[in-house]
Structure formats: structure tokens, C-alpha cells
Chain A
Amino acid sequence: MSMNNPYLPEMATINEVIEETHNIKTFRVTLNDTEKMKNFTFEPGQVGQLSVFGVGESTFVINSPPTRMDYLQFSVMRTGEVTTKLHSLEAGDQIGVRAPLGKCFPYEDMKGKDIIFVGGGIGMAPLRTLLLYMLDNRKDYGNISLLYGARSPNDMAYSYELDEWFSRKDLDTTLTIDVEFPDWKHRVGLIPNVLLEMNPSPENCVAVTCGPPIMIKFTLQALKKLGFEDNQIVTTLEKRMKCGVGICGRCNIGGSYVCKDGPAYTYEQLKQLPNEL
């Protein structure tokens, strides 16, 4: 076979499954071909297609950073056929991986700048890869702050990492939940409101946000209110995807194919596309 078949997944093994919330599990995966695993490279924000053979494929961001290559990590919210099947898998099970796909966050352009991450629910997954990458290359970036919200403490993925994030002096972490909850020691309120209260300065700052569509919508409004320019806001999109390589035709916004030209976009880029999120 002379051509590289873009549809053919690499066989991979699930090494560890972490139960994050009632509907989110995290999978740590290595490619079975050790040579390929050793040479595997990607950039923060790129995605992969996970295959459960017999059920299908679904797209997830690689949420481990390229600086930590012991495994590739994917967090999966149970919503449809493939994700339900993925949730039934255990360590040792075989899946297929097609990665990396898509374009990464503009992390090179963000060097020397302050960064504020605004993540909601499972939207924390794509931010995690970039956050950890930046922490591993800490000197390249200015102040880094994180606002992470979920419906309730029980809906908060990566809770086991939060202590470490809080303990870091070079990361300013703020957590929020939508409504009061017993023994919750952090903030209560919707993400865009908390963001406005935090009042981050847009000067030399880039905001990176991901979450449910409604949260992104109001977060964008809050960021604009805070004085962030369109090119200072970065987000990453969800779309139904099949091929993952810009051919099958369903994830387009006008002429931009989210699987290949995204999923990471600046707000400035998004505004140039037709209004069809």
C-alpha cells in the first residue's frame, strides 16, 4: 500500500479508566505499536477519533499535553452510541485511535502573554491540554489564571488534580458551581457572571474558553464587555464529524471544516465565517 490511509485507525490499548463524574470517564490510552507511540507527536487542541469497532467512531480532544507522552488521554461524556460503549470499556480493552486531527490552539502566538482559561463542564478537557502544556513551559507565558465551572461539585472532572492546581503559585485557580452545594468552599454563580466579577485585564491577555454552546455565548459577551478584542479570544468547537480529515462534508461552517480547519478558532476567525454554530 503506497498511500497512507487516513481512515485506518491505529490499534490502541486502554491502560486506565478514571471515573470523573456520573457521565464523564477519562481514558488513558497507548498505541499498540510501540514505535509509533514513541514517535507520536501532536499539538495542544488537536483531536483524535476513538473507534469502538462494531459501534463506530467519535471525536475527542487529546487532553493530555504533548509534554507528557506516557499516554494519550481522552475524556468522554456519555451522550450517544459510541460514548455509551466507551464507558463500558475497561483497562486492557482495545480501541482504535486516529490522531492527531485538526488544528491546535495558537499557543505559539500566545507566548509572552497573560492567559485566562474559562472552562465549563466537559469543556475543561480541551483547556486542560493547553493549561498543562503552558505549565510545563511556564517561563514562556505570563500570568495564567483558570476559571473552571460546573453545575455542581459532582459534575467537575479532574477533581483529583484541583489540589495541585490550587497549590501552584504560578497558577491562579477559581472554581464555581451554578447553585449552592453543601460544604462547597469556592464560588457559586454562572461562569460569565463570575468572570465579570473577577474582572481580568484584557491588556496583553488571551482568553481561552470552551464549554456548552450557551456558556460560550455568554462568556464571549462577558469577555467583550471586559474589553477583550476578537483576536484575544480563542475557543474550540464541537460538530458532528465522521471522516475527521475534511472530506465527508458535515462539519462545515461555510467553507471552513471544523475537523480540519478547527476545532480551535479565534473569535476573530469565527466572526468571518457564516453564523451557523
Chain B
Amino acid sequence: MTGLEELKTKILGALPELDVVIGWEQGYDALNATPLFIRKPEDVERLIIGPLCAHNLATYLPGLKDKKVGIVVKGCDSRAVIELLQEKLINKDNITIFGLKCDGVVNLNKIRKKIGDLGQIRKVVFDSGIITITAGETDHQLKFSEVRMDKCDTCKYPNALLFDHFIGTPDDRQNGIEPEHISDAEFEKMSLEDRFAFWKQEMSRCVRCYACRNACPMCVCRDHCVAVTRDPHWISQENDTADNWMFQMIHVMHLTGRCVECGECERACPMDIPLMLLRRQMNKGVRDVFEYEAGIDPQGKPPLLTFKVEEDNIPEREW
């Protein structure tokens, strides 16, 4: 991501017409970014962009429906904005999009896994594919490719797909991208029994905090989620594997043909459950059956939000 000064200038220019512009600022230390809600010109000074800006800010849009909102988006984030527009969950007239070109974002869990708890972080420098973290008196050097989010390994859409202002120069990265994530291939080699055993283990540590749900830009039911209602009483409040699994299945099924693979669910999960594996598997099914990818075309119809008497790829009858 480049062009911070250009972005600041453009936001300052648009701000008088907007209630708020959502970007990122540095969080509690040099390794953390956090969403920034810009309301006054002086707030713009705090804006940052770069590999720490992982949050998909589109998550906030449905909650700010009646406001004039500016939003800074990476390629994947812009797909969430498009999908929200496709489903008429937000109104484009109220939204000003500042599009970025993204070179990938960091997964903090991967860093913790590599070097443990970091202690007092003093400085973080990204340079030529190397991230140098100064914690205490120690410098840790890591390859960016080893600590970026999984979604970035296979990213086809580094540039914002929809924007009012594009910052910098778009990146052409259509080639050389692995079509599938490595772990998906490994997962598919497993027997059904092994897959079930795998998920049972993973789901057993879910605490049902609903971070995955609330971080998801497409999970728009929020306060009316079936996971917390007694009527219908589909899921118990029991925090056991079966109910956790049921909740996660409901979540993923509700995203069928809608998930843009921004990875926010997995990033938000404090228990590090590989939720994206579920979503990638489901999206693969949607691609195979409907030849559709969510959040690419603002005019496109999500396959499960429309109805065809005869689906092209679903043989319903023998004749």
C-alpha cells in the first residue's frame, strides 16, 4: 500500500461532505493497527496505511446506513462493499470509496506462533519483503511471505475493484497465483471421518464469542442472529462441540454465494479456528455450481438471492 499523503489529501477534500471517513491508525503498539473514524480534519493526521491494516472496514457500513460515509478499502475489502451493494444492504449514494492497491497484510497470530509473545514492542519496519520487529532489546526478522494472512497468498484482487478515488497505481497481479490454498488440498485428501474428527477438535475450543460473526461484513443480522434466540430454538447456549459446530455451519451456510473471503472471521477468532477453510470449501462449491464469485460485479445477482427454474449445473431431473 502506497500513497498515504495522496490519500490524506483526498480524504481532506471529501471530508466536508461526509459524516465520517473510516481508515486505520496505529493501535496500542507499533505492530498494531486499529480502525480510525475520521470526523475532523485533524483526525486525518493519525491515518496510516500498510501491511498492518488488516481490518475490513466494510463491516461498519451496514451500521452507518443513514450516514454519509467515506471508507478506505483494499482489494478484498472492496469486494465486501460490492457485495453489500449487490444485496442493497447499503446505498452507494451515501458512500465514498478510497481504493488502495494492497501488497498483503500481516497475520499477528503467525508472528506470535513464530517468536512467541513479543513483550514490549518498540519498532516495526517493513523493507523488501522482510519485517523487522524490535521487541525489548531484540530484533526479530521475519519473511513477510511467512507471516501474511493466508488470503494474501492466493490474492487475485490486490486493487480495489470499486472506488471513487484510487490511490497510487493499480497492481497487475493476475498471474502466478496459486488457484487454491495449500491447506485446502491437504484437507480434501482426508477421509470424511478424518475431516469430521478434525472439525470436532477445532470446534471444541470455540467460546461462542461471536467475533467471527460480528467481524464479518456479510453477517448483517447482528442483534437478531438465530444463534442467540430461543424462538426459533435451533441452537442451545451450551458451549459444546455440537452446538458450536451447528452455529459455525449456520454462519457458513448463510454466507453461501456471499462470502468474499476477506478473512475477517478467522482474523477475529481469538481461538484461531480455521474458519476460512470452511468458507473456501463452500466458495469452491459455489464457483463449480454457479460459476459465480461474490463481490466482483455491483450489478451481479448472488446465486442464492435469485431463482432459476432450471439451474445450469444442477441436474434435477434425469430428462
Contact surface of A with B, Cβ cutoff 8 Å: 56, 81
Contacts and interface: CB of A to CB of B under 8 A. Distances in A.
A140 B231 CA distance: 48
A58 to B, nearest CB: 12
B113 interface: no
Nearest to A84: B231
B79 to A, nearest CB: 38
Interface of B: 230-231
Contacts of B231: 81
A81 B230 CA distance: 8
Contacts of B230: 56, 81
3 contacts: A56-B230, A81-B230, A81-B231
B236 to A, nearest CB: 12
B41 to A, nearest CB: 33
A81 B232 CA distance: 10
Contacts, number: 3
A56 B230 CA distance: 10
A109 B231 CA distance: 44
Contacts of A81: 230-231
B189 to A, nearest CB: 44
Contacts of A56: 230
A5 to B, nearest CB: 21
Nearest to A55: B230
A111 B230 CA distance: 45
**Which 3 pairs between the two chains have the least Cβ-Cβ distance?**
A81-B230, A81-B231, A56-B230
Nearest to A81: B230
A6 B208 CA distance: 27
A72 B231 CA distance: 30
Nearest to B229: A81
A81 B231 CA distance: 8
A34 B304 CA distance: 61
A56 B231 CA distance: 13
B237 to A, nearest CB: 11
A57 to B, nearest CB: 12
Nearest to B230: A81
A78 to B, nearest CB: 13
A128 to B, nearest CB: 30
Nearest to A56: B230
B224 to A, nearest CB: 15
